Structure 1
Amino acid sequence: MSLQKLFQISTSAPPPLHCTNPACPQPRNPLGNQICETCQTPLTYRYLWATGSGAGQIQPGQLVGNRYYVTFPQIWLDTKPGAPPILADILSESILSYLYLYPHRLHIPGVFGVYPLGIPPEATETLLLENIPVDSRGQLFPTLVEAWPKTNPVRQVYWLWQMQQLWTPLTEQGAAYSLLVKDNLRVEGWRVRLRELHQGKVQPTQRDLAESWTAFIETAHPSIQYRLQTIHQLMRHQEDSLKEVGSHLNQLLMEQSAQLPLHLAVTGLTDVGVKRSHNEDSCYPNIQDVRNLYIYPNDKLIPHLSIVCDGVGGHDGGEVASQLAVQSVKPLIHSLMAEISNQEELAPPELIMEQLQEIARVVNNVIAAQNNEQGREFRQRMGTTLVIALQLPQKVKTPEGIELHNCHELYIVNIGDSRAYWMTQNSCQQLTLDDDVANREVRHGRSLYWDAAQRSGAGALTQALGTREAEFLRPTVQRFIIEEDGLLLLCSDGLSDNQRVEQCWQNFSASVLNGEQSLESAVQGWIDVANDKNGHDNVSVVLTYCGVSPQKLVLVETTPLSTKPEFLETEPTEASKVLLYDESLPESQIQPTSKPPSKWKEVAFILSLFTILIAGGFAIWWQVSQSQINSIPEQPTNKR
């Protein structure tokens, strides 16, 4: 039997790429087009990695199963991206490993579906992996080995630190060997990415990881080579030293990154949208906050802190919750920054992440207390999503005693489906993972994402601030290092829905980074994208410029910002309905999280009391202002 017949392969000319719009009358488009010629829908180029030796035998230029076009060895382009994939009858151990590692999707691919190669019953099931390390043309990014000699010392240490951070979760899934296969380790700018998971019968040890680093240490930049050799010796001779290795790598990373310049600028805007009568979004800082900085120059939060909240619970619920969250976060972050600045020693990222989780819980309890005080239960409880970006200017001392004043750390906190994106001249990366039903099903190993996303209520939120007590809250906190020029975008789902950020980021990133467009203009541009292309919800955008090279930034343009009229309010979004009507996991399925001991617990407790007082004052002011508005008599109208 021929190979072509066995694998259902054709050798015809390049196939057309189908539009994902189900209503498109002519969905077939030539490869290379970016927009459907018929309906103008942006085309989806989904490149997949086909695992296994069988897939490796199929040559580029072949069409597999009348759907997958082989562009490079084992890289298949899905020419019908709107069609469902073949799903596995049983989630095998190899598939489950990908599902459990889904929270690490910045580094690890996921399973899109399967494809049976061969004829049953001898057919083998090939995994088709999505979110793979390829560029827009489907070419694999360079290996870490190829890129290592060409990069700077900061990024070299950053790559090693990421590998050390991935070691434990990969080991838990029996896939630590993935970090030892040189061709499997790919790099896209700052981040390390795996092409696939490798699960061997014998699990490697920390010493094996050290041996795989030998060539990197020997060819490292001279400024970091001696320190890396010391860390390398520790890994080789002390088996249970992973935590200590991480601490040494972090210290070196902080010292190296702090030697780079860092220019920050931020501005934000929230808009009611084209269909709502009230804005339940809140953000910080908005354009007025930034302009007031010239009047009140002692605001230490700008440009280091940015916040976006999307409230749920109606005009007198979601609007209050989102504003209350923003106003409560600010003094807590201010206290954290002051505490860090007074410390002589470098605070480890684990400790800072704990404090940020604690801050989220304090704010949660502030909103929950308002719900309890107002007698709100179940469907009436107000809440809000939250995404925080904190550029923490930690000080660090080098071994020579030189004090450097900013380690370039960036912490992202998210609860709900408001998002953070990192954009450069060449890429756009979603940093956060939505707290929704579809993602929960994947993380818990119950379903592939495609299958989970098709189910009713897939986009419903599974958690938000204020809807339940803090012990049930699981904030996600991540730490990044700013070591390249880029834009950090925080936004509510009024913009991120329907992949508008992924479709439109190139319209803004290069022009802002090259100094051709101001931050204010770009923020207004993102608001316009949300209103023109989505338009169903309120929208908030906060954009932070992060520069490590000579500045080209334009902050403000002379043209005034446009304003849009308000219209009648429509139904809340599906995610808001779920939170409003308490359709998330039953209480019996949620286990309280244990809080690790914190050296700032007393500070957090005092601040929580202070924040609750602020919240009480805010609520009283809100109720008084609303009662005053309601007490104004209506003016008589003339009948004609």
Structure 2
Amino acid sequence: MLVCPQCHSENPNNSQVCQQCQTSLTHQSCPQCGHQTPVSEPHCSKCGTFMGKLWQVILAQPMSSDQTEKSLTFDNNYLDLGQRYQIWPSQETETFKVIATTSTHTLYQGQVLDCQPLEQSTLPTLVNQVSDLLKESEEEDPTLLWEQMGIPAHAFPYLTLKDLTPVVPEVYDAWTAWTVNETEVILLPDRTHWQTIPDLVIHQSLLTLQIIYWLNQMVTLWNSLSAINYCQSLLVEENLRLDEDQTFGLLKLYPDRPDAPPSLQQLGQLWQTWLTQGGYPCESKLASLIQRVAEGKLNQVAELRLELQDLAAEQQMTDDQENLTNTQVSPSSLDFVAEELPEFQEELLSDPLEETPTATDIANESTAVLPMELVNLTALGCTDRGRQRHHNEDYFGMNSELNIRQSNQGRIVNGRGLYLVCDGMGGHAAGEVASKMAIETLENFFAQHWQDDFPDQETILQGILLANKKLYDVNQSNASSGSGRMGTTLVLMLVDQTKVAVAHVGDSRVYCISRKKGLEQLTIDHEVGQRAIQQGIEPKLAYARPDAYQLTQALGPHDNKYIQPDIRFIDLAEDTLFLLCSDGLCDNDLVEDYWETYLLPLLKSTQSLDKTMRKLIEFANSYNGHDNITAVLVKLKIRPKVNPKDW
């Protein structure tokens, strides 16, 4: 089966385009020049840009008395007989380098090029079969079934910790190369371009709380790795990586040596080396804590985690005392670390010999919220006439203000914005005039009434009622009545740092997307069908009415006593993407069914709003296209509120 790179749906191997979204399954567009290049080619045939899919390969070769490097030579420079995975040249002198040895195997590392990058691998299918079999039996340990299905043993640690993805890399494929001395082959995501944590700590000026955050993640992971004897993974410096969003992840898993199992003391000594090389003063509280670990005076994982969190809380309260007068500070300011690894298996987190709190236990002990701060604010809007309308009655407005200052106090970001989408009422006179007038009225209103403090509910209501009154007065002066009265829907969003306010009238919508909560619809359509549902009618019956989609509220047709906008306030706790849109885009559950394809990837720093917006509008036209289509994307990147290190 071929997996579509756009919507991830499965297609037969002979498909030229995706049956779901019509994306090409034979060619891909070069990100640099836009030239169409076959997906099997690693470089753009026009500009030479590398476009191939690389995998990290781990080879586990059984030990033998006559083992030589030549025994790792694969036929025709491919790992597999089907010649899908081509051995890729690296910067190393050797194609494969030894990374570890066990009593039975030598482990090698290298890279391979996927010559069939859209073809689905076989391992996920096998793992799903095991899961289904486990449900039908009383067995809880999948290891025996993995062995029976021929899954290599060196893939077991990754499969055991699959709930810790993406911290632990997920196995893409695995098999045994019987023609090469029964060598086990494991394919993992290629993270070699990720930055290492030691490099950041040693060579960049970091915030104290950021360092504690990473250290606590390592300690939290230690228990899980200890349960399967892979703690060595945390002691290899080049294995500790951060993606472009500074999310922690391992390059691969390293087995422990049975004769010399790793200790928490060694981890402390590694941390101490980083601080020393980075020139951090040894008298700081964090340095003192690390010294105790390095000397073996603190050797319990649970105790170390609690001390790290207490240290973070103390630092946070000291640095932010003046600014957090009205904010409740968590006794454990690193509770958010537990949320980064939410699906730890209980048996992997606990020591069978002692009662130690798990990450979930720690998270549940506190309901307070760690203060967050803005890192970046980006927005993009687009409107399209659609394929069946002769003119566009939609209108949108955006006003972003971003001020970034760099000083000895660190990088300070101040950002706020006003974002609006209006859908002129279809079939009404001058719908496009109504939508434009509403946008301009609200932009002028907030320019005057939002100077300092974030607008409260009453201020937002006043702005919306003012827009309605202006439209209503025009209708009255033109003696318009009935279907001749112009009107518009409205969705409005205000952003100030990590505070967000959302208001709406009508059936245009606001969605938000985040990693932890997924997709949320923040607005409820003001229409007859939804009103019936709120009155207790079954949704199926409510929308069987002929007037189910008739608006119950809109700006313009009626005076202010009939306008009751919904207004809500949100405090963000993680990176969030907002989508404001007219119903031409969200009709027929487009957002609900395809948000993971078009919107979720935008939470990554490397994803372009512009390219995704174009694809989203094109897809909405092919999926719907019966109405005008308008979308405004607003992305906020945030992090725990920290201050420069005060050693």
Please indicate the TM-score interval, normalised by the length of the shorter structure: 0.3 to 0.5
Richer in strand (by share): 2
Question: Relative contact order: is structure 1 or structure 2 higher (C-alpha 8 Å, sep ≥ 6)?
Answer: 1
Question: Comparing both structures, which one devotes a greater share of its residues to helix?
Answer: 1
Q: If the length of structure 2 is used for normalisation, what is the TM-score? A: 0.40
